[in-house]
Amino acid sequence: MKKILKWTIILVLVLAVVGAGGLAGIFYYFGRDLPQMMKRDDFDPPQMSRIYSADGEVIGEFFTPGAKRTVVPEDKIPVHLKHAFMAAEDADFMIHEGIDYLGMVRAFYYAVRYDAGVKGTSTITQQVVKNLILTPERSIARKVREIILAREIEKNLSKEDILYLYLNTIYLGHGVNGVEEASWNYFGKPVSEVTLAEAALLAGLTQSPERLTPFRHEERAKKRRSYVLKQLWQKGFITEAEYREAEETKISVVPYSETFPHLDAAPHFVEHVRKNLVEKYGEEKLLGGGLRVHTTLIIENQKDANRAVHEGLRTYDERQTLYRPKRKLKEDKIADFRKKIQKSVKKRGIKNGRMYDAVVTKVDGMKVTVGVGDTDAKLQIIPKARIMGEECGDKGLEEILQRGHVIRSQIQDANNPEGVYVRFAPGPEAALVSINPANRHVVAMVGGFDFESNKYDHSTQAKRQTGSTFKPFVYGAALESKTITPASIYLDSPAVFKLTGGKSWSPKNSDGKWRGPIRIREALGASRNVVAVRILKDLGLDKAQDFANRLGIKTQMVDNFTMVMGSTELSAMEITNAYATLASGGMYAEPVFVTRIESLRGEAEEFKIRPERVISEEVAFLTTSLMTSVIAGYTDASGTRRGGTASSLAALGRPAAGKTGTTNEARDAWFIGFVPQLVTGVWVGHSDNKSLGRKEYGGKVAGPIWLNYMSNALEGTDPQEFAPPATGIVTANIDPKTGKLAREGGIEEYFLSGSAPTEYAPTTDGTSSSDFLIGQFGE
């Protein structure tokens, strides 16, 4: 027996030595080339950046997948939340050395026996290793490295440091990492404000965040929360009374869309800011640098702008029968209609972008089948709000579409394995830009009806001909050079002008009529085209281009007489900002989108403008005064009061200046106008540059959008006058037909000092006004 005992002891010792050596060998083998041990100060993970409106609302977020986090300081994390995570994940965290040895043995046993990955048993320390140093793969090799590094971390970092790292990296569902963003995601508040019950819910998510999310699985989340609360009580972290109270607390979560309701309010604005930030700082810093970007956008202005654009375009759609049935076929006519369309389909084919009339064959909730010739296609309901209205809710399409309805469709996806997809033939897009002229803050910006269906920004990216909205620049330049005064007489009559290359051009007025001799104020108020070209000819192209350039038109301009008719293609942002130079009394500055950027370290970069005077205050005022006639109207040569091309916008109920614009064949409709404190430009047009339709002028299409927005944006503010400068402007009573001084009565007109008329209008008992005008222009 002694011999057996002796050899047994020797065998055990040998096996122990061999086992220890083998274990040491394993740890040596897997311990080679391990990552360098981190310190707390090395912890610098990617953090999400947020974009804020001028009134402090979150309007945008940028982050890389797996890095939607905000690192929260240790002193902002409640003690009960720390305890909750320990109770849920690692109750002995504060006393062990980083490893759960019994659990590890069990995990290795099951991994080897069942040829599976090593699962579970990870302490908080091991999870920090996995999240920050190693990959999340499940293998024995990775687990060994995890054990080695966990012990090293325990030697290099305090328990408080390890818990701090863990709570700022743990994944908690819905793409969120760390307890700060998780608290915002589930409860709509910072982690510093979470209650005991809420902390237990967050801690319970670690087991399986997507399976336990309270947004979709409230009962599961409640059951898991109960487990965590019980652990907290049994482990001595809380009292029984605290446990009972928290256990009885109803789960209350706040949808992210309610926490940050304005995230989708200004998508084109946010995207424009994003591009500028990437250009300035690089994409990596924007997505992971934790920037806090404060912008100029005002939420209420943006909401007013969105509503105005949507209502304006839907009004146009109704007028032009877009996004709705054109007519309804009787049941016995549907087959014949499809055969007729098939003839065209056979010639042109089912290809993306092609337009065809289609007939609705089936409507089931939001699913609509249409017949495009012999092809059965699925109708995509995009953009939904444009088709069904802003408050469409969950109502079906049966209220809008029925079998037999004929719609104009566009092939959207001809090669989808599930079948052909079509959409309603697209209607026009719109842009709205609103700027505070004093500081050039862009307070609202709409780049299109629906960002999700069309991300192209028509306010900053699209460059379109501007029509008559360019005329004020030519008029202003002519006033500055004293080529004209508001009372100068020009002939509104047919004329032929020579363009570059010897081509002849004969512009016409939109109404096809001629008014004969008229004053400058009437010419701009009524947008008489030939008069504008005659002014440009007298002024010279160089002076007009220089004036527009100083106001903010940096795009190279067309170098012929068509320039005054808006043949130069400009963005809504560029030309609206040029109008802001007039509204600010002649001070130019670039549009401002961002006012301040704060870094993670608390450093702040301020962005301030330094406006420069580019035209005199007198010229700015006088040009603006002429532009008020577009809205408020003017007195014509006969002394009759007439409305301008945007007279309907006088419903704004306060002094306003602006200009309508319509390009050839009504491809573009514009209205840009302002009050002293706000400038807004609106453009409407098709992306493919086709016509908006007969008589779809700027004042009719873009004007109502401008009025809708400005009425709401200015609500509650006092009207402001366009006050003349203290010096440099004089007034005189003039005769409306000749523009000369009136002998009696007459109308009051503004002039630059030294440019007012000095001659009186002819007397009625001598040479008549008509004789005078004939003398000016010939028979």
Q: Which residues are catalytic?
A: 89, 468
Nearest C-alpha neighbor of 455 from the set 268, 311, 606: 268
Strand, helix or coil for residue 480: helix
Both tokens assigned to 706? 């401008």
Both tokens assigned to 697? 């002028």
In order, the DSSP letters of 529-541 are: HHHHHHHHHHH-H
Q: Are 169 and 45 in contact (CB under 8 A)?
A: yes
- For residue 553, CA distances in Å to 159, 272, 434, 540 come to 62, 20, 17, 17
Question: Which residues pair with residue 596 across a beta bridge?
Answer: 294, 606
The alpha helices in 96-178, defined as continuous H runs, are 101-113, 124-132, 140-156, 159-167
Please give the Cα distance from 400 to 410 (Å, whole number).
18
Both tokens assigned to 721? 């006058």
Please give the Cα distance from 41 to 161 (Å, whole number).
10
413 Cβ partners below 8 Å, 6+ apart? 352, 420, 421
Please give the Cα distance from 148 to 128 (Å, whole number).
13
The C-alpha angle 488, 489, 493, rounded to 5 degrees, equals 145
**Phi-psi map region of 402: left, alpha, beta (phi>0 left; psi -120 to 50 alpha):** beta
Q: Which amino acid is at 6?
A: K
Q: Centre a 10 Å sphere on the Cβ of residue 652 and count the other Cβ atoms it contains.
A: 18
Q: Are 477 and 528 in contact (CB under 8 A)?
A: no
Q: Centre a 10 Å sphere on the Cβ of residue 506 and count the other Cβ atoms it contains.
A: 10
